[in-house]
Chains A and B, each alone.
Chain A
Amino acid sequence: KQEVTQIPAALSVPEGENLVLNCSFTDSAIYNLQWFRQDPGKGLTSLLLIQSSQREQTSGRLNASLDKSSGRSTLYIAASQPGDSATYLCAVCSNTGNQFYFGTGTSLTVIP
């Protein structure tokens, strides 16, 4: 069964710093990988989706990369802002079925 791990569990950075969040998965037979943002008490908002054939995707200050062979993805956030404070989750969609496997998330705090 696919297992998804996110490190670190929590991260606190000063405003303006660039940062990297990590996601690893055990089965490289994936359809795609998504990064989500979750604010306290809210649902998940999709940030970036990387297809299995792609290496990276960019949206504004966010850049996500995918190395399928090593089972890793990173989310790079440039010039962090206090509004970026949230929990970030990655989710893998397997090739074997229409299911998604989620990591436990990284809780990010950006200090003004």
Chain B
Amino acid sequence: DGGITQSPKYLFRKEGQNVTLSCEQNLNHDAMYWYRQDPGQGLRLIYYSQIVNDFQKGDIAEGYSVSREKKESFPLTVTSAQKNPTAFYLCASINWAGPHQPQHFGDGTRLSIL
């Protein structure tokens, strides 16, 4: 079955450490997104990529970095500069080639500070 796989499901970060969240999709979608979800808040956009080797900052990109070297992969690195990284992180993709397609989501990674 086609879908989006996020790993790991749970991740713990030590002070000063960078951690990388994985997102892989086999839907052949060009566009991929990273969102952060905090309790009582809607999803906030961190980064998005419309095509391989290209990505744009979202509303809360500070302290995060991404790469898009392959169509199916869009990893997110939470750097030590992100002072409040504890949150639920969601990866999504969409097929813009067809009109009015829904966004597809992975099952998320929950990041906590040790």
Contact = CB atoms under 8 A, between A and B. Distances in A.
A71 to B, nearest CB: 16
6 contacts: A4-B42, A42-B108, A43-B106, A44-B92, A49-B100, A49-B102
Contacts of B12: none
Interface of B: 4, 6, 31, 33, 35, 40-43, 45, 48, 50, 58, 88, 90, 92, 94, 96, 100, 102-108, 110
A42 B107 contact: yes
Label chain A's interface by main secondary structure.
strand
Contact of B42 (A32, A46, A49, A89): A89
Contacts of A98: 31, 48, 50, 94, 96
A51 interface: yes
Contacts of B96: 98
Interface of A: 4, 9, 31-32, 34, 36, 41-46, 49, 51, 89, 91, 98-105
Nearest to A1: B59
In the complex, the 4 A-B pairs of residues with the closest C-beta atoms, listed nearest first:
A43-B105, A46-B102, A102-B42, A102-B43
Contact of A104 (B6, B42, B92, B107): B42
Contacts of A51: 100
Contacts of A31: 100
Contacts of A101: 42
